[in-house]
C-alpha cells in the first residue's frame, strides 16, 4: 500500500464512533527516542564496559529491558535512519547509500503516529534529505516525513560549532557541545505538554560520539589514554586507525552524552511524564575503533553492527530485564507502534518485539539480516556484502565468494574466521541457506549493488553513467541483462 493510500485509509477508519471509543480508551504512551550517532554497545557500561562512565544509561537499563543483541541491519548512517523510521530494509525504502533523500512516498512511524493524534518532533541530525550536507535546511512539508516540530540540520559533525533550523532557512547557531543544545530544545518540547496534552513522539538524534572524536574539557579529563584497556582484537594496522587517544575522546563524548540523557530523564520525572513515556535509546551503527585494525562502520564485525538497545516504560515494562533476543533496526517501528496499540502498516518488514519486553513471549527472530551495497574507500569497506547473524554465529559474503564466519560463543572477539574451513563446512552451508532465505523473503538481490559510490552527491556510478538511486533502479529494471545475477 502506498503512503497516501495508507494514510487516507487511516483517516477514513476514524469514524465518529471510533473516535468516541478512543476518547474513552486509556491514554497512549509517549515515546522519547534518543539515538547518539556511532555509539557501539561495547562502549556502554551496562553492556560490560567497566571503564566508560555511563551511569544514566545504566540506570535506564536497570529500570526497563536491556536488549543485549541489538544490531544495525545496514550499519551506516542514512540507510540505518531510514530503516528505523520505515521498518523496511534499505533496498525497499530506497536508502541504500549515504546522502540520498528518503522518498516522500515511504510510510514512516512519525506519519502513522501523527495521524493517530500524536504530537511529533525531531531534534538533531536528520541526514535523510539527500544532496549537500550544509547548510542543512529541510523545508516544512513531506520531506520531514511526518515530524511537525522541527529543530534540526541535515548533517555537520561540527560538535561545538554548528547550526540548526526551525521552519525557515534562517540558521540558528549552536556555540556549545551540540548534545547539550539538542537536550535544551528537547526539554522545551517536553515542557509544552503542559499546554498540549496529546501524547508525543520525540526523536533526539545527537551527533556525538561520531568522529571527529571530542568532548568538553571536563569529560576529556576523565579518561587517560595510557590507562585504557584496548579491546583484545584492537591493532594499529594503519596510521589512520584510532588508537588510545581517540578511544579516550570517544569515551569522553559518550559520558558527555550520557549526562544529557540524564537531563532528559530528570525532565520526564519533574514533568510527571516518566510513567507513561517509552524511552528507547539506541544508535544508527557502531564504530570499529581499531578492532581488527579497522575504522568506522559498514563492516560485519560486532563493533560495527552491535548498538545499544535500552527500553524503559514504567507503566508496563518490568524493570531489570535482560534479553538475548535479536532486536534490529527494522523491528523498532513495529515494536513502538504495538506499544501504542497501533497495528503496524503491512509494508513494514520488521517484527513486533513488544511482547518480549512485556514478558509475554520469550525470543523473537532466529536471525538478523545485514546489507551493505557497495565499497567505500574512506573506511576500508571492500565491496557490497550481505550477512546473517544468529545468537551463535555471524556469516557474511560478497556476491562472488564467502567472506567471514565466526562462532560468537566460542570466539566473541571474532579472531578466527571459519569461512572455508573444512570442519565448519556444515555450519557455513546452513548459514548460507539462511542468508539466501533472507534475501528471497525481503526481495533483495545482488543487482542492487554498485561498484563506485560518490558520497555527498547522492549518486551512483554504474555502466559509465552517474544516477540517483531511484533513477538507477528504474534503469536497471529495464535492462536486467546487464545486471549480475
Q: Judge whether 76 lies within some domain.
A: yes
pLDDT score of 20 more than 50: no
Residue whose grid cell is 570442519? 423
Q: Does residue 127 carry a catalytic annotation?
A: yes
**Domain check: are 218 and 353 in the same one?**
yes
Whole-number pLDDT of residue 59: 98
**Domain check: are 435 and 482 in the same one?**
no
Q: Judge whether 6 lies within some domain.
A: no
**Domain check: are 279 and 398 in the same one?**
no
pLDDT score of 277 more than 60: yes
- Of 50-59, 130-139, 443-452, 457-466, which gets the smallest average pLDDT? 457-466
CATH code where residue 55 lies: 3.40.720.10
**Domain check: are 417 and 334 in the same one?**
no
The DSSP letter of residue 73 is S
**Domain check: are 356 and 396 in the same one?**
no
Q: Judge whether 372 lies within some domain.
A: no
CA–centroid distance for 432 within its chain:
26
State the sign of the Cα–Cα–Cα–Cα dihedral 425, 428, 430, 433. negative
Whole-number pLDDT of residue 1: 47
Counting the structural domains of the chain, the total is 3
Does the pTM surpass 0.85? The reply is yes
pLDDT tens per residue across span 370-395: 999 998 877 888 899 999 999 999 99
Q: pLDDT-derived band of residue 130, with 50, 70 and 90 as boundaries?
A: confident
Q: Please give the mean pLDDT across all residues of the chain.
A: 90
Q: In the predicted model, what is the mean pLDDT of residues 135-163?
A: 95
**Domain check: are 213 and 274 in the same one?**
yes
Closest alpha carbon to 175 in 160, 158, 153? 160
Q: Judge whether 423 lies within some domain.
A: yes
Q: pLDDT-derived band of residue 479, with 50, 70 and 90 as boundaries?
A: low
Task: Please pick, among 46, 77, 78, 155, the residue that the annotation labels catalytic.
Answer: 77
Q: Judge whether 69 lies within some domain.
A: yes
**Domain check: are 470 and 441 in the same one?**
no
Q: In the predicted model, what is the mean pLDDT of residues 89-107?
A: 93
**Domain check: are 340 and 439 in the same one?**
no
Give the residue with greater pLDDT, 451 vs 2.
451
Q: Does residue 77 carry a catalytic annotation?
A: yes
Contact 108, 2 (CB under 8 A): no
**Domain check: are 177 and 142 in the same one?**
yes
Q: pLDDT-derived band of residue 460, with 50, 70 and 90 as boundaries?
A: low
Q: Judge whether 14 lies within some domain.
A: no
Name 80's Cβ contacts closer than 8 Å, sequence gap at least 6: 72, 73, 74, 284, 285, 329
- Of 15-19, 338-342, 455-459, 475-479, which gets the smallest average pLDDT? 15-19
Find the domain containing 484 and state its range: 451-485
Q: Judge whether 278 lies within some domain.
A: yes
Task: Please pick, among 46, 56, 78, 127, the residue that the annotation labels catalytic.
Answer: 127
Q: Judge whether 368 lies within some domain.
A: no
**Domain check: are 222 and 115 in the same one?**
yes
- Of 409-413, 432-436, 480-484, which gets the smallest average pLDDT? 480-484
Q: In the predicted model, what is the mean pLDDT of residues 62-90?
A: 98
Whole-number pLDDT of residue 465: 58
**Domain check: are 144 and 180 in the same one?**
yes
pLDDT score of 4 more than 80: no
CATH code where residue 445 lies: 3.30.1120.10
Whole-number pLDDT of residue 481: 52
**Domain check: are 82 and 186 in the same one?**
yes
- Of 64-68, 208-212, 234-238, 360-364, which gets the smallest average pLDDT? 360-364
Give burial (CB, 10 Å; 0-12/13-18/19+) of 413. middle
Amino acid at each position: 500500500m502506498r503512503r497516501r493510500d495508507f494514510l487516507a485509509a487511516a483517516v477514513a477508519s476514524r469514524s465518529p464512533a471510533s473516535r468516541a471509543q478512543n476518547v474513552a480508551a486509556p491514554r497512549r504512551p509517549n515515546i522519547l527516542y534518543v539515538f547518539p550517532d556511532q555509539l557501539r554497545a561495547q562502549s556502554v557500561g551496562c553492556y560490560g564496559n567497566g571503564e566508560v562512565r555511563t551511569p544514566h544509561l545504566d540506570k535506564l537499563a536497570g529500570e526497563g529491558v536491556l536488549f543485549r543483541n541489538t544490531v544495525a541491519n545496514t550499519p551506516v548512517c542514512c540507510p540505518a535512519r531510514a530503516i528505523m523510521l520505515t521498518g523496511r530494509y534499505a533496498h525497499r525504502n530506497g536508502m541504500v547509500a549515504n546522502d540520498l533523500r528518503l522518498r516522500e512516498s515511504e510510510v514512516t512511524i512519525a506519519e502513522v503516529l501523527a495521524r493517530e493524534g500524536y504530537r511529533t518532533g525531531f531534534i538533531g541530525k536528520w541526514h535523510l534529505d539527500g544532496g549537500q550536507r550544509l547548510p542543512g535546511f529541510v523545508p516544512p512539508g513531506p520531506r520531514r516525513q511526518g515530524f511537525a516540530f522541527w529543530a534540526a540540520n541535515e548533517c555537520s559533525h561540527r560538535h561545538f560549532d554548528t547550526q540548526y533550523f526551525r521552519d525557515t532557512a534562517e540558521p540558528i547557531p549552536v556555540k556549545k557541545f551540540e548534545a547539550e543544545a539538542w537536550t535544551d530544545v528537547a526539554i522545551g518540547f517536553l515542557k509544552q505538554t503542559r499546554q498540549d496534552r496529546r501524547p508525543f513522539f520525540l526523536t533526539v538524534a545527537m551527533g556525538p560520539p561520531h568522529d571527529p572524536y571530542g568532548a568538553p574539557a571536563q569529560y576529556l579529563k576523565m579518561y587517560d589514554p595510557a590507562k585504557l584497556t584496548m579491546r583484545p582484537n584492537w591493532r594499529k594496522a594503519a596510521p589512520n586507525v584510532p588508537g588510545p587517544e581517540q578511544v579516550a575522546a570517544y569515551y569522553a563524548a559518550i559520558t558527555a552524552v550520557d549526562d544529557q540523557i540524564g537531563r532528559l530523564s530528570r525532565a520526564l520525572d519533574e514533568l510527571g511524564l516518566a510513567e507513561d513515556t517509552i524511552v528507547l535509546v539506541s544508535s544508527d551503527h557502531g564504530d570499529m575503533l581499531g578492532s581488527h585494525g579497522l575504522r568506522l562502520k559498514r563492516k560485519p564485525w560486532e563493533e560495527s553492527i552491535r548498538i545499544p538497545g535500552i527500553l524503559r516504560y514504567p507503566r508496563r515494562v518490568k524493570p531489570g530485564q535482560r534479553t538475548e533476543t535479536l532486536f534490529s533496526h527494522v523491528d523498532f517501528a513495529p515494536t513502538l507502534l504495538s506499544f501504542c496499540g497501533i497495528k503496524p502498516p503491512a509494508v513494514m518488514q520488521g517484527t513486533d518485539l513488544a511482547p518480549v519486553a512485556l514478558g509475554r513471549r520469550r525470543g523473537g527472530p532466529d536471525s538478523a539480516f545485514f546489507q551493505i551495497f557497495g565499497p567505500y574507500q574512506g573506511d576500508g569497506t571492500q565491496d557490497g556484502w550481505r550477512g546473517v547473524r544468529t545468537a551463535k554465529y555471524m556469516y557474511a559474503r560478497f556476491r562472488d565468494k564467502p567472506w567471514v564466519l565466526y562462532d560468537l560463543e566460542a570466539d566473541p572477539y571474532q579472531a578466527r574466521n571459519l569461512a572455508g574451513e573444512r570442519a565448519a563446512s556444515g555450519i557455513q552451508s546452513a548459514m548460507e541457506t539462511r542468508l539466501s532465505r533472507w534475501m528471497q523473503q525481503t526481495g533483495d538481490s545482488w543487482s542492487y549493488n554498485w561498484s563506485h559510490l560518490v558520497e555527498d552527491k547522492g549518486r551512483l556510478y554504474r555502466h559509465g553513467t552517474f544516477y540517483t538511486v531511484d533513477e538507477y533502479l528504474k534503469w536497471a529494471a529495464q535492462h536486467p541483462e546487464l545486471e549480475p545475477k
